[in-house]
């Protein structure tokens, strides 16, 4: 049995009048992410964790933000593409853990929806998908609501 671990991190700026997608779920909030894609920081961090585990570069190298094909792209599609790359190489995803850092809104009510959505795209059980949320105690860009960040860690297995 071979084992690989990967980590991912992503940040987006927040602005009024933009949409806030997290883990493929639209979160009602007065601010959203500024991005070339739909700005889903959580999915982007998970993509980078999966790509990182296989040393396949990062999300920017696979889906360049200079490419108009990815303008406002649904990040769920990007994650599906990355999952395909993982499977093509004979790996399976053991589990995903993640943390979103945002001062607002309170994310607890959306966590189970996000986990279910991610589990569906990752094609693994929902109990292998962890999504946590934290504030940064009003410190830093997340705490000042200037931006939002996400960290993800994955474990891949190959028989």
User: Which residues form the interface with Mg ion (CB under 5 A)?
Assistant: 10, 44
In sequence order, what E strands does 1-159 have? 2-16, 20-22, 25-27, 31-34, 92-101, 129-134, 147-158
Residue 10: CB minimum distance to Mg ion, A:
4
Residue 149: CB minimum distance to Mg ion, A:
10
Smaller CB separation from Mg ion, 10 or 142: 10
Residue 28: CB minimum distance to Mg ion, A:
21
Q: For residues 87 and 139, what is the distance between their CA atoms, to the nearest angstrom?
A: 39
Residue 128: CB minimum distance to Mg ion, A:
23
Smaller CB separation from Mg ion, 44 or 115: 44
Is residue 103 helix, strand or coil?
A: coil
Please count the helices (runs of H) and the strands (runs of E) in the chain. Answer: 5, 7
Smaller CB separation from Mg ion, 44 or 76: 44
Task: Specify the DSSP class assigned to residue 118.
Answer: H
């Amino acid at each position: 049995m071979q084992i690989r671990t990967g980590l991912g991190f992503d940040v987006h700026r927040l602005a009024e009048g933009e949409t806030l997608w997290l883990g493929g779920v639209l979160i009602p909030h007065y601010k959203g992410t500024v991005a070339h894609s739909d700005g889903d920081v959580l999915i982007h961090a998970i993509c980078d964790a999966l790509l990182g585990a296989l040393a396949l570069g990062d999300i920017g190298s696979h889906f360049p933000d200079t490419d108009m094909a990815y303008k406002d792209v649904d990040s769920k599609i990007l994650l599906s593409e990355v999952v395909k790359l993982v499977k093509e190489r004979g790996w399976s995803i053991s589990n995903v853990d993640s943390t979103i850092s945002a001062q607002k809104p309170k994310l607890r009510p959306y966590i189970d929806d996000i986990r279910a959505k991610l589990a569906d795209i990752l094609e693994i059980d929902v109990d292998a998908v962890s999504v946590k949320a934290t504030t940064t105690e009003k410190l830093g860009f997340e705490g000042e609501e200037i931006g939002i960040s996400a960290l993800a860690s994955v474990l891949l297995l190959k028989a």
